[in-house]
Structure 1
Amino acid sequence: MVLKVDVAPDLVHGDVDEGYGAVADAFRRNFAERGEIGAACVVHRNGRKVVDLWGGYRDGVARKPWESDTVVTMFSTSKGVAAATMAVAHARGLLDHDRAVADYWPEFAQAGKEDVTVRQLLSHQAGLAVIDRPLSVTDLADRAVMADALAAQAPGWAPGTQHGYHGISLGWYEGELLRRIDPQQRTLGQFFAEEISGPLQLDFFFGLPVDLDPDRRAVIHGWKPAELVLHLRQMPPAFVLGFLNPRSLTGRAFKNPAVLGVIDNYNRADVLAPEIPAANGTGEVRAVSRLYGELATGGAALGLDPVTLGALTRPAAPPSGGTKDLVLRVETHYSLGYIKPFPQFRFGSSADRAFGTMGTGGSFGFADPDTGIGFAYAMNRSGFRLWDDPRELALRNALYVNVLGERPQLPD
């Protein structure tokens, strides 16, 4: 069972600007009422940090406090950071969303993928949620092995006709595509470090640096896969059944190599060392908020232009066969590496121009251009929701309803 820890009020820290006290109140209640162990929440508005909160324990077993500079693995919230990296490449003219991936990466054309566009790949429509070739953790750090496995993969459905969450594979496909279009042939993690996190001074990493102080890193307190059957009111039953079935599309999408299918394994050094841009991004929560804050206010510091920003903010273009996700087995909307608001997952203001990604266990980061908001929350106790974890939702509701006077962040 998931660890339960009492957190004293004096272990909750941070600052909020005047008028944002409701967010701080919700953050404190997460520890008192919602079982939070360790977490941080940061909000940027119109380019300025207005909420910066952290607290609890970065290690609930050893009772090591969560500090201001604690870094945490954010699972699929990492996808939003990787998508921002691809957006920078787009703004620099390195890729066209509507060209074939094979135009940039000829080997990708194998197995019926010759017409898959960059847009389809980034929007989970390419049918490449599963990698059939068995992979080891060691393989993940071998670029040649990974590139060959990715290129050889056959789509699981006709690209563009359906979509399904590329839960692990998306980041590897993004990484290899970026390496092909970057004049310096850098990995996604290297490109991000040199072109984004360095200039913006963001503590966020794809592939944990060997010299990072291990005492800065939060320990993930996750659930075992079998526990999902006890939480069918929180997790969609169809997704749970698929995840627990190793032969299903859902089960296969998250478990190659098998260690990636268990949350607590993301505490392992060998899982954090290679670049897994869709899943193992690790950093300060304020780094994700700052990045989304830049995206929400024009992206000047990132070198973005109106064309790229327009592509990120416009509504998702669904596949021809509808919006039922073949992997998550629920309705979803995706666009260019991000999830977009839809009736079952309302985030941001009423215009629905927001974009972001949520992570396993409850983390979430997004940009809302209509309010100038960059929001990020991450924690180390894993919850049982695909999105709208009660802790994160309480913070987002406090921000949007109590502070901004916008709509409740609840499903229609």
Structure 2
Amino acid sequence: MPKLYRRLMLKVDVPPDLIGGDVDEGYGPVADAFRRNFTERGEIGAACAVYQNGKKVVDLWGGYRDGRTRTPWEEDTLVTVFSTTKGVSGLALALAHSRGWIDHDSPVAAYWPEFAQAGKETVTVRQLLAHQAGLAAIDRPLTVTDLADLDVVAAALAEQRPAWTPGTRHGYHAISLGWYEGELIRRVDPQGRTLGRFFAEEIAAPLGLQFHIGVPSSVDPARIATVHGFKPAEMLLHMGTMPRGFVLGFLNPRSVTARSFANPKVLSQTGNYNLPEVRALELPAANGTGEPRAIARAYGEAATGGAALGLRPATLQALIRPAEPPTEGLADVVLRVDTIFSLGYVKPFPRLRFGASGNQAFGTPGAGGSFGFADPETGVGFAYAMNRAGFHLWDDPRELALREALFRTVLGERTQHPDPR
């Protein structure tokens, strides 16, 4: 067996007394599914939280925050959630919209004049946030040092030429979306704050969230779970799980898929997000680190009106309503499968059912299996995050089991399993 595969298949037996937390009466099936993740699905360390109608009804954690040292996952353990960060960052854009700082149908260049280069003059905020701008890959080579200087990043973003005519296609802006969102916030915020600082002051502080977009030096690194990731080549062993086209594209350095994840190259491997210098960066699309219950709390607030954040009804209605797909269909140029995006979020579609049947839900899954979303129909904010990275783009069996237990068993809503069509 190849060495890399042996490393990934690290077997960790988690004793029952390392699973903690509580659920409200009636939510026991979620706790049962959480426990089974450790006994049946290879979980190492994880947490799951649910808010419903403003009340925390599920708060579970367990296992090891480091599977090799057997350091227990504690109640206050933080974990990096990869693209689940996008949904958290999306709340910053939603708040900017509620404050009248941005209009979804205005050109990005109206707020950021330097953006109007290389054929991007008419790209709207809506197109940008829906991954339709053709800006998934950034051509100028960037280093970790460059990423710490947002002026350098902004210059690289502004000069980028779209890979397709904006609005005609879409492709997952895996890393770049967060940089574009961050620069947009810097431009429209009267204080010129970064997205990470804006989130900390305007969303995390009012809600009491332990979640960071760019981990500050004041956070004890011992609280942060170690991500047990994988090397890109290991995806070849899981092409029955990951889409074949995505895997082959990811491993082809010239493809838009690979270039969307690998500038700089350090960002293309999940395990590298354990590096302190990567954790410290503001990567609003990729490296949010915090307590999973913070994600559930934020989404729970959005699902019930957003009053504590000052979100206007018009903003919430924009998040709830169906996406406006690109003119040439739903085929994702980067992920090589059909997807649906709207205003910085994923919306439900047949291959990714989440929330109730009205499809009002909005959220984002993250690499390895994490997921967070709001479902206004049921008043639910849901979050799950783990430290053993799996190989599903979404619907990781561990996360899906929790979501199915909540929506199907507890709430009596539709199955969360995908439509095979």
Q: Report the TM-score when normalising by structure 2.
A: 0.97
Tell me what 1:45 maps to. Answer: 52
Query: 2:303 is matched with which residue: 277, 282, 296?
Result: 296
Spell out the pairing of 1:7-406 with structure 2 (5 A cutoff). Answer: 7-406=14-413
1:368-402 alpha-carbon deviations (Å, 9 max, x no partner): 00000000000000001000000000000000111
Separation (CA, whole Å) in 2 of partners of 1:191 and 1:88: 10
1:244-288 alpha-carbon deviations (Å, 9 max, x no partner): 111001000000000000110000011111100000000000000
- The residue type paired with residue 331 of structure 1 is D
- The residue type paired with residue 317 of structure 1 is E
1:125-151 alpha-carbon deviations (Å, 9 max, x no partner): 000000000000000010211110000
Identity %: 70
Separation (CA, whole Å) in 2 of partners of 1:241 and 1:55: 35
Separation (CA, whole Å) in 2 of partners of 1:109 and 1:76: 27
1:51-102 alpha-carbon deviations (Å, 9 max, x no partner): 0000000000110000000000000000000101100000000000000000
TM-superposed CA distance for 1:305, in Å, is: 1.0
1:170-215 alpha-carbon deviations (Å, 9 max, x no partner): 0000000110000000000010011110111100001111010111
- The residue type paired with residue 317 of structure 2 is G
Separation (CA, whole Å) in 2 of partners of 1:86 and 1:157: 24
Separation (CA, whole Å) in 1 of partners of 2:373 and 2:150: 30
- The residue type paired with residue 265 of structure 2 is A
Task: Give the CA RMSD over aligned residues.
Answer: 0.5
Separation (CA, whole Å) in 2 of partners of 1:202 and 1:350: 29
Q: Report the TM-score when normalising by structure 1.
A: 1.00
Show structure 1 runs of 4+ deviating over 4 A. Answer: none
1:24-69 alpha-carbon deviations (Å, 9 max, x no partner): 0000000000000000000000000000000000000110000000
Unmatched 5+ residue regions in structure 1? none
Separation (CA, whole Å) in 2 of partners of 1:195 and 1:305: 15
- The residue type paired with residue 20 of structure 2 is H
Equivalent pairs, count: 412
Separation (CA, whole Å) in 1 of partners of 2:408 and 2:398: 15
TM-superposed CA distance for 1:4, in Å, is: 2.1
Separation (CA, whole Å) in 2 of partners of 1:250 and 1:77: 19
Separation (CA, whole Å) in 2 of partners of 1:223 and 1:142: 28
TM-superposed CA distance for 1:411, in Å, is: 1.2
Unmatched 5+ residue regions in structure 2? none
1:191 match: secondary structure: helix
Separation (CA, whole Å) in 2 of partners of 1:269 and 1:345: 33
2:56 match: secondary structure: strand
1:211 match: secondary structure: coil
TM-superposed CA distance for 1:306, in Å, is: 1.1
